[in-house]
Structure formats: structure tokens, C-alpha cells
A and B are shown apart, each in its own frame.
Chain A
């Protein structure tokens, strides 16, 4: 791999909140068109790491390079789906989903047309004019994912995007995500608690330790693509799963 293929480079990130040493020393790389997952125990600092990569938080030390340039504390470059769905209660679904386009100053009508195309895929059709408080947790999460996608960036940070979904919807959304990831030539950093999900989706998995967090292990998923439901029962899949579970 040449250097130019590396999109995000996280270099020796360290972050404490007061006396709470959250991230001790985290380094990782996301290459172009790669799908990389981050697995780690609750509270180890995965969301904090995403806050730092997206520029919302500053690290105590270390660097975030995007396309080789320093992005410490600079927002607006990557699309970031937070762990909470963060719907705006005063906006209906369509206005929530179109928010990133409004912020970019795009035309309202055009934004609506663009967004509405995706409503069936996301299981939100017919709910365009509903308010977030009228939606289920899963629907809110799908709306948040659609909003992230409509920010239309080559790099997406997804923090447990399917955490609130039932198994069936979850599988559907995973397949959908793989589809757009492939079509859009997007690169994804993905946080999850679900080992199956991580293996199924990823090219690479970073396993983080408990707080203060370091990278404990890196797994390369050499399972061929495109992946489908058969992947989940394949030999390779189960071998990888075993390897990860023994480490947890």
C-alpha cells in the first residue's frame, strides 16, 4: 500500500477527563474504501475516540491526520453518526434528515427530493412528517443513519448505528450499509459491541483494551466479498470469531 491510500491516521492518541485516563495510546489507520471496526468494552473510550477524530474534542496528545493533514480539533470533514440518535425534537423526520444539506446551504426542495428517495430503503416511508417523539427507537436510529449518509462524505464514523435494532432489521441494515459502502466508495470506521457484526462487515478489526485503552489486537478479515447470509456460517467466519472470543 502506498502512503496516499491512507485516509485517516490516528497517531498515539491520549485523552483523560480529569483523573479518568480514558484513552492511553491509540493508533489506527483507515485506508481508502476500507471498512474498519473498533471493538472494545463499554466505557473504554470508543465514542471519545470518534469525538476526537471528528474534531469535537481535542486529544491530550497525539495526532489525527486525514489525507496526511493535521485535523486535530477541526470539524466538518467526516460524517459522524453519534451513539445517541440525536434527533431534533422540533423538526419532523424529513427536516431532521435534511439537516446536513441545509447546513451546506442547499436548496430546501431539492434536499427533500434527494432525501425522500431513501425513505423506503430505511423503512421510514410514510413517516416524513412525523416528529421524532412519534417514532420507535429503531426508526430514530435509522433516520439518524440516513442523516449521516446524506451528509454525503467519503468518510463515515458510525458509533453503534444498529444498537437499537432487532436482529432482522439489523441484518437488513448491515446489508444495505455494505451496499452503499461499495457503491459510494466510502470508507467506514465502525464501533460495535456485536462481534458477528464486526466480522461480517469489516476488513479489519481493532480490539481495544479496558480503560486506559490501548489497541490490544488487530485482526484482518480476509473473507471474500461480496458477503451475504452464507458468510455468517462459513468456516473462515467462525474461526475468526473463535479467535476474537478467546481474547475477550
Chain B
């Protein structure tokens, strides 16, 4: 615990210093406020605009969470299918890897054309962004299960489903969760990108509007909210991880 505090001590000092310098520069009016608003004015803007932002926050959160959940379900199905059917893996795995070289932002307009300006294209984008890290990490987990544990179950006469239930899934949970953590932090960003490209609501739309009216303090306020939301989702996943895998506490600590 003590170590933890010490680890956080230096970054906090550094960050505070940075904020103070920033505040100083802004107060001296080195740059006009629409280029670099001061941290204090951003904070004020965050507080005063919060009620009008609330609606957008909820929409972005909704898109991110729905997309994330769909990604989890899809990943579970795909990873297990690829793990159990070799032909499936051989066909899809290379395609999956190559698909990652396409930046999502350049295909996002397509989804707007196909799915309109509502929630759907945003959810699709979140799903696509989250799908990859979850699937890959789960597949890796499934592929590296201790073969001897599988053998032991087989010697007890267990069937394929039981092997997944009793060994493969629990054993790949740690890597599954690391995929979830990456995806969780991406999910809010994914929804925001979707909203930038075209939409009527959400934090992305809010940011674009703020930008167009040169209300840079509100752009920063939105950035803060996006960051906080991403961290919050990450923390929820971490909490679930600890809750779900209590045994990790005891593994090879010494």
C-alpha cells in the first residue's frame, strides 16, 4: 500500500506543476483564450456547462457500453469458434489481423451512409474497435492452456464442452480481462469518433459544436469528461477482474 502512494506521489507533483505553469501562461495572455484557455476557466466551464452536457454524456456512454457488450459477445463466440475449429481459425485469423491495418476513422463515414445518423453507426464503430483486442487476447489465452490439465479432464472422460467450462475458459480469463481493459478504454473514444463523423447527439457532437463556436474551454471540458469516463470503465473492469478471479491474488507472488 505504501509503495502505491509513493508511486503516485511523483506524477501528482509533476502534473500539478504542469497545471500551474499552464495557468500562469494563460494568465499572462501569451495565447488568446480560444487557443489555450486556462485550467481554471476550463474547470469553471465544466461546472457551468455540466447540465447541458449531461444529455450528451449519457448518449456517448450508452453507445460505448452497448458497443462494448456486443463486442464481448461477438469475441466470445468468435474466439471459441476459432479455437475449436482449426479451419475456421486458418481462414479468419489472417483476415482479422489485416483488418486492423485499416484505420477505423476512414471507414466510419461508410457506416453513416449505411446506418444513418442515429446510434447504430456509433455502436458499430465501438464494436469494431473493441472486438479485436478482446478476441485476440481471448484466443491467446485459449491457445496457451496447460495441456496437462486438459489431459487430466480427458482421463476423467470429460467432453469438449466440459473442457471449455472447467479448464479452457477459466484458464484464459486473465488474458481475456487484459483484452477487456484495453477495449474499455477504447470504447468511449470509438463512440466519440462516430459522433464526429456525423450525428446529432453525444460528446463528439458537443465537441464539434464547441470547436465551431471557438469555445475551446468547452472542448477541454469534453476531453476531461471523456478521459474520466474511460478511466471509470477501466476501473469497473479491474474491479470485476478482482472479484471474478480471487485466486490471482495467491499466484506466484513471492
Asked whether B148 lies within 8 Å of A84 as measured between CB atoms, the reply is yes
Asked whether A103 lies within 8 Å of B158 as measured between CB atoms, the reply is yes
Quick one: closest B residue to A83, CB to CB?
Answer: B148
In the A-B complex, list the 7 residue pairs whose CB atoms are closest, starting with the nearest: A76-B157, A133-B250, A90-B170, A131-B247, A103-B158, A80-B155, A54-B155
Task: Give bound CA distance, A133 to B249, whole Å.
Answer: 9
Number of A-B contacts (CB under 8 A): 62
Using Cβ atoms and an 8 Å threshold, which residues of chain B touch A99?
Answer: 153, 156, 166
Q: Give how many A residues have a beta carbon under 8 Å from the other chain's beta carbons.
A: 26
Asked whether A133 lies within 8 Å of B148 as measured between CB atoms, the reply is no
Query: Known: A90-B173, A90-B245. Is A82-B158 also a contact (CB below 8 A)?
Result: no
Task: Give bound CA distance, A100 to B155, whole Å.
Answer: 10
Task: Give bound CA distance, A102 to B245, whole Å.
Answer: 20
Asked whether A103 lies within 8 Å of B153 as measured between CB atoms, the reply is yes
Asked whether B166 lies within 8 Å of A102 as measured between CB atoms, the reply is yes
Query: Known: A82-B148, A90-B170, A90-B245. Is A131-B250 also a contact (CB below 8 A)?
Result: yes
| A75 adjacent to chain B (CB < 8 Å) | yes
| A56 adjacent to chain B (CB < 8 Å) | yes
Asked whether A75 lies within 8 Å of B154 as measured between CB atoms, the reply is yes
Quick one: closest A residue to B174, CB to CB?
Answer: A90
Task: Give bound CA distance, A84 to B155, whole Å.
Answer: 14
Tell me if A's interface is mostly helix, strand, loop or mixed: loop
| B162 adjacent to chain A (CB < 8 Å) | yes
| B171 adjacent to chain A (CB < 8 Å) | yes
B228 to chain A, nearest CB (A): 33
Asked whether A103 lies within 8 Å of B155 as measured between CB atoms, the reply is no
Using Cβ atoms and an 8 Å threshold, which residues of chain B touch A90?
Answer: 170-171, 173, 245, 247
**Residues of A near any B CB (own CB < 8 A):** 51, 54-56, 75-80, 82, 84, 86, 88-92, 99-100, 102-103, 131, 133-134, 151
Using Cβ atoms and an 8 Å threshold, which residues of chain A touch B170?
Answer: 88, 90-91
Task: Give bound CA distance, A7 to B162, whole Å.
Answer: 29
Interface 1/0 per residue, B150-166 and A, CB below 8 Å = 01111111100010001
- 24 example contacts (A-B, Cβ-Cβ < 8 A) are as follows A56-B155, A75-B154, A75-B156, A76-B155, A77-B157, A79-B155, A80-B152, A82-B151, A82-B152, A84-B148, A86-B149, A88-B167, A90-B170, A90-B173, A91-B170, A99-B153, A102-B166, A103-B153, A103-B156, A103-B157, A103-B158, A103-B166, A133-B252, A151-B156
A84 to chain B, nearest CB (A): 7
Known contacts A78-B155, A133-B252, then 6 further A-B pairs from the complex at CB < 8 Å, ordered by chain A residue: A77-B157, A82-B151, A84-B148, A86-B152, A90-B171, A103-B156
Using Cβ atoms and an 8 Å threshold, which residues of chain A touch B148?
Answer: 82, 84, 86
From residue 148 to 205 of chain B, which have CB atoms closer than 8 A to chain A?
148-149, 151-158, 162, 166-167, 170-171, 173
